[in-house]
Amino acid sequence: MESIHLIMELFECDENKIKEIGPVKEIMDSILLISGMEKIFDFYHQFEPYGVSGVCLVKQSHISIHTWPEKKYAAMDIYTCGDAEKAREACKKAIELFNSKKWDVKEIKRGIVEKE
């Protein structure tokens, strides 16, 4: 079993898209659809006066987000044992949908890799 973990730093995001649960959840659902991940459960917390933390537990692992609208910043993880290319597409879509002007993405291969 091998899996992929994308650790995403999204800078200069549209603060209106990361301020409240509604837009964040809508974008996270779009990302799940693109990645082909099957949602089991999701939970979001609204901070006051603004900011959101959320996690989507999926059959293939999870997607999570934490936002700081006052800094136009969001931190995300996409972790899946599913299709790696679809996870990368979901990452690109997140950058687009949150209107991130700058980003840094680290890709880590995780899991048990069989030696030949």
Q: How far apart are CA 66 and CA 14, in angstroms?
A: 14
Catalytic residue IDs: 61, 66, 81
N- to C-terminal Cα separation, the chain: 14
The answer to whether residues 56 and 64 touch, using CB atoms and an 8 Å cutoff, is yes
The answer to whether residues 19 and 69 touch, using CB atoms and an 8 Å cutoff, is yes
